[in-house]
Amino acid sequence: MALLEVKNLKTSFFTDAGEVKAVNDVSFSLDRGKVLGIVGESGSGKSVTAYSIMQILAGTGKIVGGSVKLDGQELVGAGEKVMKNVRGNRISIIFQDPMTSLNPTYTIGKQLMEAILLHTDRNRKQAKERAIEMLRLVNVNEPEKRMKQYPYEFSGGMRQRVMIAMALACEPDILIADEPTTALDVTIQAQILELMGQLQKELGMAIIMITHDLGVVAQICDEVVVMYAGSICEQGTADEIFYNPCHEYTKGLMRSIPTADTAGKRLQPITGTPIDLLNMPKGCPFAPRCDNAMKICIKKCAERMVINEDHAATCWMNVKKSLDSGEIVPDSEGGDDRG
């Protein structure tokens, strides 16, 4: 059984302008000891997916359907009491901005001990020892001295280490990292990613890595979920996604990254602008920006299609490919739609 099973998750924000379907029918599963990457542009619903799993949505947000199962236990509708035990204890989260996610008025030590005291039956002395041990684990020098310092005395990379130490203090089964390195410099980013990979192997936990940086995904993820406009457009192993992308959006993303080969040439960008979630088109959400959009793409969204056992995508182009190669025979209803 998978450690975390997300099925048909739907989360909406009810704003004055109408319902915004931020997460629309998202399903994936995560096994113990694996790193799952969720990639997408801003507004694609990757963070909201994470917040829905943790049930820490902002006021107007609500899970409207689907299920989230942790070790077989249903979390959606399970109530605050259950969730309090899950958050920080079984699933932890690191936020994007290490500058603002620590409380500036408490010492680092106090903030680290808070989580330990809350979730374990250690006394204050043991909690302090544990906090120092955690700081040492994330390579903070002189942890005893650092415990008494305030966040402003830490650099960005150091603060992110503290966040990681805090998240790991209760040995969670799953660590959700929401753009943990976006605010950091590349050299510090490399240190943090290396640290996360090493801790993941040592402690055997699973990581959900939310990022927009395909380089980060390539470096540490086993599996990848690509999101666009609140839905999953493609999911599979990292190798499948990078070397055999089967959704037009993923292909576009891969083409638009500058590499050694593009120097002096034009990049191939994805045209158009990101979608407005309040005015979602009827068909495939990517169709208005897709160069290969067909008639059917505008009419209705494709079903999830299994490419192979490690890979699935939601794109009509795969159906077209199979039709062209004669792998499948068109049925009477769908056949004349394709143009």
Partner 1 sequence: MTVADKQPLIEVKNLKEYFNINTGWFRTKPLKAVDDVSFTIEKGETLGLVGESGCGKTTVGRTLLHLYKPTGGEIFYDGKPVKTRSEIKEYRKKATMVFQDPYSSLNPRMTVSDIIGEPLDVHKLCSSKAERRDRILELMSYVGLNSEHASRYAHEFSGGQRQRIGIARSLAVNPDFIVCDEPVSALDVSIQAQVINMFDELQEKLGLTYLFIAHDLLVVRHISDRIAVMYLGKMVELAPAAEIYDNPLHPYSQSLLSAVPIPDPKIARANQRIALTGDIPSPLNAPSGCPFRTRCKYATEKCAEATPEFKEVSTGHFVACHRVDEINA
Residues near partner 1 (CB under 8 A) are 41-42, 155, 157-158, 185-191, 193-194, 212-219, 238-239, 242-243, 252-254, 256-260, 262-263, 266-271, 273-274
In the complex, least distance from residue 128 CB atom to partner 1, rounded to whole angstroms: 25
- CA–CA distance, 115 with 129 (Å, rounded to integer): 13
CA angle 120, 122, 124 (to 5 degrees): 125
In the complex, least distance from residue 160 CB atom to partner 1, rounded to whole angstroms: 12
Distances (CA, A) of 9 to 46, 102, 167, 231, 232: 12, 30, 24, 10, 11
Q: In this complex, which beta carbon is closest to partner 1, that of residue 8 or of residue 271?
A: 271
In 3D space, the residue among 149, 32, 19 whose CA is nearest the CA of residue 158 turns out to be: 149
Q: Please say whether the beta carbons of 207 and 213 come within 8 A.
A: no
Q: In this complex, which beta carbon is closest to partner 1, that of residue 66 or of residue 236?
A: 236
Full DSSP string of 75-116: -TT--HHHHHHHBTTTEEEE-S-TTTSS-TTS-HHHHHHHHH
Q: In this complex, which beta carbon is closest to partner 1, that of residue 65 or of residue 156?
A: 156
- CA–CA distance, 62 with 77 (Å, rounded to integer): 11
Q: In this complex, which beta carbon is closest to partner 1, that of residue 173 or of residue 179?
A: 179
> What is the rounded end-to-end Cα distance, in angstroms, of the chain?
42
Full DSSP string of 26-73: EEEEE-TT-EEEEE--TTSSHHHHHHHHHT---TTEEEEEEEEEETTE
Q: In this complex, which beta carbon is closest to partner 1, that of residue 68 or of residue 270?
A: 270
Q: In this complex, which beta carbon is closest to partner 1, that of residue 125 or of residue 266?
A: 266
In the complex, least distance from residue 278 CB atom to partner 1, rounded to whole angstroms: 14
In the complex, least distance from residue 242 CB atom to partner 1, rounded to whole angstroms: 5
In the complex, least distance from residue 227 CB atom to partner 1, rounded to whole angstroms: 13
Q: In this complex, which beta carbon is closest to partner 1, that of residue 176 or of residue 226?
A: 226
In the complex, least distance from residue 38 CB atom to partner 1, rounded to whole angstroms: 14
CA 236: distance to chain centroid? 14
In the complex, least distance from residue 89 CB atom to partner 1, rounded to whole angstroms: 31
